[in-house]
Structures are given as C-alpha cells and as structure tokens.
A and B are shown apart, each in its own frame.
Chain A
C-alpha cells in the first residue's frame, strides 16, 4: 500500500499528511471546500502532497483517513469511498459539533455510526485518541525505545493488519483492541482518550477500561442492548 488519502485539512488532517509524507506515502488531501482554498496551506505545510476534492482523494488513494468534524460525516463522498478501506480518526467534540445525542449514544461506537452511513466501505478506527500535537511530536522510528502506541479497532483481521502497518510506518506501535463495536473504548470519556503512552500502558488502559467511570456507563448501557 503506497498511497494515503486524507479528507480534512484542519489540525489533525495536516499533521497526518505530514507524517504520511515523511513515511514515504503518496499523499492526497482534501479540505471541506474548493481545493484552491487549501492549495497554499498544503504547499507550505505538507510539501509533496496533492490537493483534490474529497471525491478525487477518495478515488485516487488506496486507503483514506477521515479527519473532518464528526458531526459532518454525512458530507463524506459515500460513493467514491465505496469498497475502500477507510480509517476513522474522528471524534465527537462538543465545541465544534454542538449537542448531538445521535453521536454520543453509548450503544454504538461513533465509528459504527460512520460505518452504517458508509455502508459499502470498510471502516477501521485509529489515530483518534492521541492529540494532534502529540501525534506530531511523538512520532519515532520502529527501533526507538520511547515509542508511543496507537489503538486500532476494526472488523476484519486483514483490514486491521493494513492499518497496523500504517500506524507503524507513521511512527507508532499499533495496538489492536477488537472490532468496531469495541472502538468506544477509544472515545472521549475513556481513559484512553488523550493518552499518549507506550504499548504496555495502552494495553493496560484497554484491559481496565470497564473499571473506569466511562467504562461503567458503557457496560451498563450495553447490558440493556
């Protein structure tokens, strides 16, 4: 896999594009509007990346990362993303999304909501729990001893492996935590959210998730499913 597409040219999208270029990927990036609006930004912040519309990026790249505000997921190019492996790096963020009970329902992970909408794509959750400046500052080569870890949730082993490879290439140790339903363990409220820790600590946080306050709420809600 040699090309990565990024939909979203904000703080997170730009950092992911920078890391992907550094890792040697061919990078395509789209903002929310006319590509012309982000052309200058991308040429200076991510030299080497190609700007396009979200449809173009979705068509051209082999794997696509979503980095737009979660509340706007229905603006994603559903058709162009069909049959693609799509990494969901989005989170519900009140400051941007406003009150959206549909996105904070504990019965689903937010990536399952995205999967339901992009029903013909294969969604894997990753890159969502680490802050964008930690993402930028903490990237390390694979032989480094102080590497940080990024958790991955997805429904098929094959797709998760591909994403694990990307996480590794971008400078982090991949930690596979289970299917997309388990992805809630990486969401805002979880002790994992905001954690930039090593593999050992991340695994520990995942294992003890249900003991956390948020974990308790999730367990209680899901027992009623």
Chain B
C-alpha cells in the first residue's frame, strides 16, 4: 500500500464469518462456519487474491468474534495472502493485547498481518467487556493514541483515563519488519477521517450503501487533513458488499434472500424497516451492492475505483445465510475473472 502508481491495485475479500447453509439449506454451526472461512481463504490465496480481512462480531448470526485467531489458522496454510482484521474494535479491546496478538500473527505469517482499527458500527462488545457506551468517543481516541505509540516498537510511556498508564513498557514480540501494517476503517464519520490522517494511518472506507461517489469529498478531506498535520498521505482503500455468480439473474437469485435476511435481522434490533426488493435493486444498480455476473461486478468495481481513486478494493462476501458452495464459486469467479477484468478495464482507461 505504499506504491503510488494507479496501476497497482490490491483486491481483497472481507468476511464476518456469516453462518452459511449447506445445499439442503441447513445452517452451519459456528465452528463449521469458521472452518469454512479458512477453506475460503486458502482458495483465495491459491487464486492470488491479495487480502483476506475478517471482522469481529459478538452476535449469533456471525461466527467470528476473534479474527486474529482465525487468521492465525489461515496463516499456517497459506503463502501470500495478506491477513487483515476488518475491523478490530479497538474501543473495547486493549491496545497492548491487540499489538501482541497481531505481532504474533505477523510472525506466523512471515509478515502478512494487517490491523484495521475501527470504532465499529456494532457495539455489542461494549457491555460484553464492561465498557460504557457513553465513552464511545473517548475510548477510541485514547486507545488509538496508545496504539500508534506501540507501533513504534520501542518502550512506551503513556497515560490516559480509560486504561492503566504505562511507564517505559516494552511489548513483545517485535515484528521482523519493525512495522505492523495498520489502517483505520471509517464508515462515514468525517471526524474519523480526520483522526486517521492525524495519526498518519492509511484509510479504509467502508461504503456499504448509497452511491460510492458520495465519498469523493471524504478522500479530499483525508488528503487535506494529512497535509495540515504533516503526516504521510497514504493510498486509500474501500470495502463494499457483493456477490458474484455466472449470470446476473443467478447472482441476484442467490444474494437477495440472504442479503434481505441479514439486513432485516440487524434492522430488527435497530428498529429500521425491512428491506424491499426495490431498495435491493437500486443498491445493485446505483448503490453499493456489487452483485451480478463477473462482467457486471468488474465494471461496477472499476467505475468506483476510478471515481474514488482508491488503490485497494475489498469485497465483503457471503452476507447472510448463503450456500457455502455458492460462496466458494464466488471466490473462484472473483479471482479468475473479476480481478483480471477490473485490471484490464482500468488499464484501458489509463491508455485513453
């Protein structure tokens, strides 16, 4: 993520370990769902996909609460794929432990670990780990400050109000490269964009609904803020949900019920109205759902990558109870057809 040429784009896959179903519609157990993600990551690695990012949830419909443990399992069975969290909810975690766990993952994977820090739009981890929601802002602010100190891999002296102070504390293991790759994931809060620039972290934009072009000013904001703080202007990444099948019809047929179940289940706890077919179609056609045949998805991805000038695109896959076989097929299409086609479309565009 340090190269600045526009032809070098990284492609990733993101999952929260949604529980898939088998071909008879039977829901996987949490344990089987975790093993499924490991198999998917192995396939992604074989296909040359750049990154697998796993996010944490602490609720029944998702199997992954401890992404780095799953990533450690993936680490020992893959060669090249980068292993990222997406995101690590730093507010309800301990920065020292987060560093230790990801530095360990970095060791197991020969330097392939990436931490994506975020505040999280789901905060079920707060009551679970004994944090107050009223400290939502403060917890993240303090912990990201401490984490940025830990990344220097030198003894840290730090004090705050939400965690015990550290006096010349050295934290192990050290990474071989001396730098644990760290990003900040942002869902649309402008202050989070400014914060990422303030600490000099690369930005990952979570664009999960609406038109991606809406985020263009946010990218401008990130760059201007980095200039103001005199921190490095890193390339920016984006992540959006999607699904790929052989044809547009097939992709919509499989994705619609799974996506709706996922959306409505989360909506029920937050009080929003169930997803309509119209809403789904408008997201597929004009918004942030990358659903369709390899050609449709590649075109849509190329359009967004170009509009936003991002250098990394992570596709969030397998949302809702989707057949495991369809998920594997999707990854195959993503690696074999979509990614080469997006590169081709972008290269054609550069020539013009």
Residues of A with Cβ closer than 8 Å to B? 9-11, 14, 31, 37-38, 40-41, 44-45, 71, 93-98, 131-134, 136-137, 187-196, 214
Contact = CB atoms under 8 A, between A and B. Distances in A.
A42 to B, nearest CB: 9
B257 interface: no
B194 A41 contact: yes
B217 A191 contact: no
Interface stretch (B9-17, B74-82, B183-191): B183-191
Contact of A98 (B132, B193, B194): B132
Given A10-B189, A188-B272, A136 B133 contact: no
A134 B210 contact: yes
Nearest to B120: A95
Contact of B271 (A38, A189, A196): A189
B226 to A, nearest CB: 11
Interface size class of B (residues with CB under 8 A): 20 to 34
A131 B133 CA distance: 22
A190 B267 CA distance: 11
23 contacts: A11-B189, A31-B191, A38-B190, A40-B221, A41-B221, A44-B224, A45-B221, A94-B270, A95-B123, A96-B133, A97-B133, A98-B126, A131-B272, A132-B188, A133-B211, A134-B210, A136-B214, A137-B210, A188-B272, A190-B273, A193-B271, A193-B272, A193-B273
Contacts of B122: 95
A189 to B, nearest CB: 4
B270 A93 contact: yes
Interface of B: 121-123, 126, 132-134, 136, 188-191, 193-194, 209-211, 214, 217-218, 220-221, 224-225, 228, 267, 269-273, 279, 286-287
B220 to A, nearest CB: 5
Given A37-B191, A40-B225, A214-B271, 17 more contacts: A10-B189, A38-B191, A40-B224, A41-B191, A41-B193, A94-B269, A96-B136, A98-B134, A131-B272, A133-B210, A134-B210, A136-B210, A189-B271, A190-B271, A194-B267, A194-B271, A194-B272
A195 B278 CA distance: 12
Most B-side CB within 10 Å, residue of A38, A132, A194:
A194
B224 A131 contact: no
A71 B137 CA distance: 14
Given A10-B191, A40-B225, A41-B191, A195 B273 contact: yes
